[in-house]
C-alpha cells in the first residue's frame, strides 16, 4: 500500500478540535491526558483522519481516530479503517481501547482500569502486555494521522504483534 499524503487530503480533512496541552487540566470537565496515562500526552486532537490512494486501485483508504468520554467516565479511543470505492464506503473498527483514569492501573490488576481493548473487531483480554502493545500501536498510528499520513495498518499491527 502506498504510504503518503493524498494531495486532496489537506482540503478534505475535517479540522479536529484541539485538546488542551498536557499542562492544562481540563478536556471539557475531564483531565487530559488521563490521570495515570501519560503516554497519551502526545495525542493533541480529539479526532483526525488521513487518506491514501492505492496505485492501480479504484478505491481509497483512510484511517480515522476519535477520542471521547462516555457517561460512565470511561475514555474511549477508536481508530477506524475505511475503504471507499465504486460500491460505496465501508468502515471497520481497526483498534480501540476503553479505560478509566487511575494512577495505579499498571501496578494493580489492569482489568480494573481497562474496560475493553479490541483489534480488528476481535476483543482481547486486557492483560498488561496486550494493553501496552495496543497503546504503542495506537499512539504511533495517531501520530502518523496527525501528520496527514495513513500508515499501512496491517504492517503496524504486525509489528506490535496484534494480528
Give 9 or 97, the one with higher predicted confidence. Answer: 97
C-alpha 75/C-alpha 112 separation (Å) is 14
C-alpha cell at 146: 496527525
Please give the pLDDT value at position 87.
83
Q: How do residues 28-51 score in pLDDT, each as one tens digit?
A: 556 788 888 899 998 988 999 998
pLDDT surpasses 90 at 161: yes
pTM: 0.77
Exposure letters 7-21 (e unless 16+ CB within 10 A, then b): eebeeebeebeebee
pLDDT of residue 141: 95
pLDDT (tens digit per residue) in 10-22: 333 333 344 433 3
Pairwise CA distance, residues 31 & 22, whole Å: 9
Helix (H) or strand (E) holding 60: strand 60-69
pLDDT tens digits, residue range 78-136? 999 988 878 888 899 999 999 998 888 877 778 889 999 999 989 999 998 999 999 99
Contact 54, 154 (CB under 8 A): no
Does pLDDT of 59 surpass 80?
no
Amino acid at each position: 500500500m502506498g504510504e503518503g499524503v493524498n494531495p486532496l487530503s489537506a482540503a478534505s480533512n475535517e479540522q479536529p478540535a484541539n485538546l488542551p496541552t498536557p499542562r492544562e487540566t481540563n478536556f471539557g470537565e475531564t483531565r487530559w491526558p488521563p490521570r495515570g496515562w501519560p503516554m497519551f500526552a502526545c495525542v493533541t486532537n480529539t479526532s483526525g483522519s488521513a487518506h491514501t490512494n492505492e496505485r492501480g486501485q479504484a478505491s481509497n483508504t483512510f484511517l480515522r481516530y476519535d477520542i471521547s468520554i462516555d457517561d460512565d467516565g470511561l475514555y474511549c479511543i477508536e481508530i477506524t479503517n475505511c475503504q471507499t470505492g465504486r460500491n460505496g464506503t465501508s468502515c471497520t473498527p481497526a483498534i480501540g481501547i476503553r479505560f478509566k483514569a487511575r494512577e495505579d492501573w499498571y501496578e494493580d490488576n489492569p482489568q480494573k482500569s481497562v474496560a475493553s481493548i479490541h483489534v480488528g473487531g476481535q476483543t482481547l483480554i486486557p492483560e498488561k502486555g496486550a494493553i501496552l502493545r495496543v497503546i504503542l500501536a495506537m499512539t504511533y498510528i495517531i501520530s502518523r494521522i496527525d501528520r496527514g499520513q495513513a500508515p499501512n495498518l496491517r504492517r503496524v499491527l504486525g509489528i506490535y504483534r496484534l494480528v
